[in-house]
Amino acid sequence: MTAQSDTQGSVTAVYQVSGMSCGHCEGAVSAEIGEIPGVSSVKAVASTGEVTVVSAAPLDEETVRAAVDEAGFELAGRA
């Protein structure tokens, strides 16, 4: 698990997502996670499967899992 708070009161978490293979995949995952209330930034990298999420408070992993599932991918857990 990688989660840390920064000085602006936001939380950064890195998740591992399986199945992403291209920029379209990155966009789909980013768009779905970006809809979660409190999320301010999402960066998905298909080559590593890592998705970095910045939010106002720690996110419930099941909420993130549901968003990733909606995008058509699988949340493997936190990186």
Identify the band that residue 8 occupies on the pLDDT scale cut at 50, 70 and 90.
low
Residue 16 exposed, middle or buried by CB count within 10 Å (0-12, 13-18, 19+): middle
- pTM for the full model? 0.88
pLDDT for residue 79 = 84
Identify the band that residue 9 occupies on the pLDDT scale cut at 50, 70 and 90.
confident
pLDDT in tens, 15-54: 999 999 999 999 999 999 999 999 999 999 999 999 999 9
Q: Which domains does the chain have, with CATH numbers?
A: 2-78 (3.30.70.100)
The DSSP line for 17-69 is: EES--SHHHHHHHHHHHHTSTTEEEEEEETTTTEEEEEESSPPPHHHHHHHHH
Answer whether residue 77 shows pLDDT above 50. Answer: yes
